[in-house]
Amino acid sequence: MNKVAHIEPLAEPIQAEVTVPGSKSLTNRALIVATLANGTTTLLGASDANDSLILVRLLRKLGVDIQTEGSTITVKGNGGKFKPYNGELDAEDAGTVMRFLSALCCIVSGEITLKGSQRMHERPIYGLVDALSAFGAQITYSGKEGFPPIKIRGGSFKGGTVHVDTSLSSQFVSALLMVAPILSSDTEIICEGAQVSIPYIEMTIAVMKEFGVHVEQKKIGHYFIKSGQEYKAREYKIEGDASSASYFLALAAIFGSTVKVTNLNPGSLQSDAKFADILENMGCAVSRDKSISVTGTPRLKAVEVDMSGMPDTAQTLSVVAAFAKGETLITGLSTLKHKETDRLKALRMELSKLHINSKADDSSIRITGGNPRGAYINTYDDHRMAMAFAIVGARTGVSIDSPDVVKKSFPGYWNVLKSMGINVVLE
């Protein structure tokens, strides 16, 4: 029988300070770049998310010397010179791991089968595989054409000019960018199709720059990387995870409380740090110094917002919109159906349980705010469904199915809620 988390409503508004784990997105990019660097890199404040733990485990299987101690990770980079490897690598349900290793394994001699969970095998990867193949990689599909698992015969990977379909995921471009500097030819990446999650590509480029590699952006979606550049090992501090912070800022918004996230930098590389701007437009008071704090309002206003640059907080905004007066329209969500679950479909189902009306198409959702009621929420094996709908409990009380799914990105989530004075009972 599945576990359940029961969240009981608060009796009165709270004032709280929270510290969130390091950014999963930055940690996973830094792990790849540190592996390809010459020398030893120390990552401080790294994420303890399961996705990052999976990446560490698989890089070790590829022969990378990685030591972990708390939130500090030490990586002895190999400059892109891997020992041959033959065998399977299981990315489980970690999307960044699947995409980033698809590119990285192309420079590893041997034959590698890269697989994942059942849901991962339903998430298309053909845009990245086509681009890697154009660079000379030898990749075949082990199951359904266009989807993992994939078999990679590494070693013959040279770079060049490639057109990439980025309509499904920006991670395809990030994967190519990070391996490009060590390839034997200059690399030019030209994005085609819808430009989704552009800030995540900009994050990748920023991390590469911190490690000494320059990416020339000719225009949005057109990148040039000179070959022969070297990543330089260094000490690198990981920012607090902005996606994780969004849940606590949203809780402040819906319950008239004040919550400060102590390690969220207003000038963050992460686009999700702009979630506070949306709450401000909804009527909340926002303070920005070296951290971000939000004070909620009993009169939340509906908004219209394009979240194509920050899709991971769409679920968080959806539950805030459930309490806002009017119709909130969230657009730019075309990638949500390819995430851990079809998130737009899941949102509609669970909002209806709260007695909140919503309408969705392939790339947007319209939510009519009202007076949500408590409910039993299904999570669909999606960590963000669990965390977003849990904050509703501060107002109405909710029960969350399969609460352990939060380990994917935020293993300590329930403990942080408890530290804020919210009664969470795990059964």
**Mean pLDDT of the region 40-66:** 97
Taken in order of first residue, the domains within the chain and their CATH numbers are 4-22+240-426 (3.65.10.10), 24-237 (3.65.10.10)
Task: Give the pLDDT of residue 1.
Answer: 45
Q: Around Cβ 343, how many Cβ atoms within 10 Å? A: 26
Contact yes or no for 300/338 (Cβ under 8 A): no
Catalytic residue, from 48, 51, 312, 382: name it.
Answer: 312
Task: Give the pLDDT of residue 155.
Answer: 80
Measured between alpha carbons, how far is 316 from 240 in angstroms, rounded to an integer?
17
Q: What is the pLDDT of residues 347-402, one digit of tens each?
A: 999 999 999 999 999 899 999 999 999 999 999 999 999 999 999 999 999 999 99
Measured between alpha carbons, how far is 252 from 203 in angstroms, rounded to an integer?
28
The residue among 129, 102, 104 whose CA lies nearest residue 114 is: 102
Predicted confidence band of residue 194 (pLDDT cuts 50, 70, 90): confident
Q: What is the pLDDT of residues 312-341, one digit of tens each?
A: 999 999 999 999 999 999 999 988 887 878
Edge-to-edge strand order for the sheet containing 150-154? Answer: 87-90, 110-115, 150-154, 138-141
1 compared with 355, residue with greater pLDDT: 355
- Does the active-site annotation cover 312? yes
> What pTM, to 2 d.p., does this model score?
0.91
Contact yes or no for 79/230 (Cβ under 8 A): yes
Task: Give the pLDDT of residue 195.
Answer: 74
Query: How many alpha carbons fall within 13 Å on the CB side of residue 245?
Result: 33
Task: Give the pLDDT of residue 169.
Answer: 84
Q: Is the peptide bond before 149 cis (omega within 30 degrees of 0)?
A: yes
- Is it the case that residue 180 has pLDDT exceeding 60? yes
